[in-house]
Amino acid sequence: MAANDALQTIQRQIQWNRLIAVVEEQAQTMIRTAFSTTVREAGDLSAGIFDLQGRMLAQAVTGTPGHVNSMAESVGHFLRKFPAETMQPGDHYITNDPWLGTGHLHDLTVVTPAFRAGRIIGLFANTAHVIDVGGLGMGPEGRSVFEEGLYIPIVKCFDRGRANETFFDFLRAGSRTPVELEGDVYSLCACNDAGAKRLVEMMDEFGMDSLDPLAAYIFDSSLAATIAEIAKLPRGTYAAEIRSDGYEAPVTLKAAMTIGADTITVDFAGTSGLSGRGINVPPAYCRAYSCFGIKCVVAPEIPNNWASLAPFRMEIPERCILNAPRPYPVSVRHVVGQLLPDLMMGCLHQAVPDRVNAEGSSALWNPPLRGGAQVSGAAAELPDFEIITFNSGGTGARPTQDGLDGTAFPSGVRTMPVEATENVAPVIFWKNEIRADSAGPGRSRGGFGKVMEIGTKGEAEFAVNAVFDRVANAPKGREGGGQGAPGWVGLDDGTALRTKGFQVIPKGRRLLLKLPGGGGMGDPRARDAALVARDVADGLVSPQAAKALYGQDD
């Protein structure tokens, strides 16, 4: 009997790994077929499989925690409107509702039922960030979500394999990039179909009539493993805070984390109130990035699913910027929400200091660019264009290793090749280089930020919808490490611009971005002299900084 149990456990583990491979193929299908550069170049997406109760069994390795962990809540909303027993083969359901999806209108979430032998066996879901959904575009200027773009409730975009032409008519009419947007919807549906096909093949191979026994194994194992990791932590309540540049005024995020026997509860009491602009965070997005920050430290090796997230609980006060109700503007919720893992690590550093990073640039620096008649009117020298490019500053130093340069954490998206952006829009990247002396000093230093200089063909006028943070509030170091360099936004002639909001780059000028560096870890004077010398030789640290910060001559 014991031998049979062991064999069944081995088989369940093989099936679990296979399920992760199925959803990774789902995600890769989306990347191969997507129209928007945000998906195919940056990987700003998520993909996963769910049981018929809407519980996430597995997620693709490719994807972002803001999408994955908030999408984990989305499928339940779909099932409340379209119960599983009413679904048919060929159906696809879609929404971009920020409170039912992943936090803003630029993310489309598609849910698709999978059938085997005429019986529904599970649900595939995905999310992707698209370039444009109309309205004011991706930026903080809106006063309500109704100004921010086309609002899609949970509807069928395909009914038994046939496109809902009324839906697609509305979709195309509401976007500046109708071809890309429609193509992305087809891509999202196709990737779910690819996952469903592979799932059926897997179940045929293993002789599985239902996913329920495998789901029970996944959930039981994940929950038990997560609770076991929590039990290793010192119990208590640990408080931390972090500041964002905000829009109208600086924003303070506060957290009190209570580590219990089998749960971790975070109370955000004391956090700043709601903003009148689009930096507000819907609660699902707050939970998504808070859980991710905790999981990175507490249980990083346990696969992400409904059960492994269940012990992490959030208490988010009403009227708090992390609990925005409808119809508050939320378009750039990431500039605040992506600071939450650093906030979680600020709490956890007091409990397990050897497992926590210093603060990093955190919020993506992804400038939405626009040009043509929609900016310059009759004087336009360029065709209309709308594009967004994803970039990141440096990550925080790790306890025993330096931070990463120009790398997205916590979002996990890839930095987009400048050539890919230049290929689809009349823009030119004159600089895209490491920013010297931007890394926070420490025993292990932070990652370096970048310098980017962006213009247009012919040096024509264009606009940026600035969505930047960590300018007035630089990433902090830990344990005596120094802060990373703050960011800077302006023109190539030295004129400073606002860090948030729609602004025109005059003809003949270029947009200049200096991305923040990550904070350092530990006393800089304890850094290995050879590492400092290497950074000086590489032009990353100036001789003056090496002497002033590390006490070392070149």
pLDDT computed for residue 5 by the predictor = 82
Residue 463: Cβ within 10 Å count: 20
Both 387 and 515 in one domain: the answer is: yes
Both 298 and 444 in one domain: the answer is: no
Cα–Cα–Cα angle for 389, 391, 396, rounded to 5 degrees: 165
Q: How many domains does the chain have?
A: 3
Q: What mean pLDDT do residues 115-132 have?
A: 97
User: Does 3 score more than 80 pLDDT?
Assistant: no
Both 168 and 193 in one domain: the answer is: yes
Q: What mean pLDDT do residues 489-504 have?
A: 97
Tell me the C-alpha distance between 144 and 69, whole Å.
Answer: 25
Q: Is residue 362 included in any domain, yes or no?
A: yes
Q: What mean pLDDT do residues 234-247 have?
A: 98
Tell me the C-alpha distance between 221 and 219, whole Å.
Answer: 6
SS3 119: strand
Q: pLDDT per residue over 269-303, tens digit each?
A: 999 999 999 999 999 999 999 999 999 999 999 99
User: Does 526 score more than 80 pLDDT?
Assistant: yes
Mean pLDDT of the chain: 96
Tell me the C-alpha distance between 513 and 490, whole Å.
Answer: 7
Both 47 and 117 in one domain: the answer is: yes
> Given pLDDT bands bounded at 50, 70 and 90, which one contains residue 490?
very high
Q: In the listed set 352, 382, 415, which residue is the last one of a domain according to the structure? A: 352
**Structural domain for 390, as ranges:** 357-554
Say what percent of the chain tops pLDDT 90: 97
pLDDT computed for residue 274 by the predictor = 98
Q: Is residue 230 included in any domain, yes or no?
A: no
Please provide the size of the chain in residues. Answer: 554
| Helices and strands of the chain, counted as H and E runs | 14, 19
Q: Is residue 144 included in any domain, yes or no?
A: yes
Q: Is residue 129 included in any domain, yes or no?
A: yes
Tell me the C-alpha distance between 428 and 44, whole Å.
Answer: 23
What is the strand order of the sheet 427-434 is part of?
Answer: 427-434, 450-456, 511-514, 488-491
Q: Is residue 222 included in any domain, yes or no?
A: no
> Given pLDDT bands bounded at 50, 70 and 90, which one contains residue 470?
very high
Q: What mean pLDDT do residues 151-163 have?
A: 98
User: Does 165 score more than 90 pLDDT?
Assistant: yes
Q: Is residue 508 included in any domain, yes or no?
A: yes
Question: CA 451, 456, 458, 461: dihedral to nearest 10 degrees?
Answer: -110
pLDDT computed for residue 553 by the predictor = 66
> Given pLDDT bands bounded at 50, 70 and 90, which one contains residue 25?
very high
Q: Are strands 264-267 and 312-315 parallel, antiparallel or unpaired?
A: parallel
Both 295 and 187 in one domain: the answer is: no
Q: Is residue 37 included in any domain, yes or no?
A: yes
Would you give the distance in Å from CA 270 to the centre of its chain?
25
Q: What mean pLDDT do residues 178-188 have?
A: 97
Q: pLDDT per residue over 510-520, tens digit each?
A: 999 999 999 99
- Which helix (H) or strand (E) segment is 345 a member of? helix 340-348
Tell me the C-alpha distance between 355 and 368, whole Å.
Answer: 35
Both 255 and 174 in one domain: the answer is: no
Tell me the C-alpha distance between 472 and 470, whole Å.
Answer: 6
Both 348 and 363 in one domain: the answer is: no
Both 341 and 403 in one domain: the answer is: no
- Which helix (H) or strand (E) segment is 419 a member of? helix 418-424
User: Does 62 score more than 90 pLDDT?
Assistant: no
pLDDT computed for residue 287 by the predictor = 98
Q: Is residue 313 included in any domain, yes or no?
A: yes
Tell me the C-alpha distance between 547 and 554, whole Å.
Answer: 8
User: Does 189 score more than 70 pLDDT?
Assistant: yes
pLDDT computed for residue 2 by the predictor = 67
User: Does 134 score more than 70 pLDDT?
Assistant: yes
User: Does 6 score more than 90 pLDDT?
Assistant: no
Both 193 and 313 in one domain: the answer is: no
> Given pLDDT bands bounded at 50, 70 and 90, which one contains residue 4?
confident
pTM of the model: 0.96
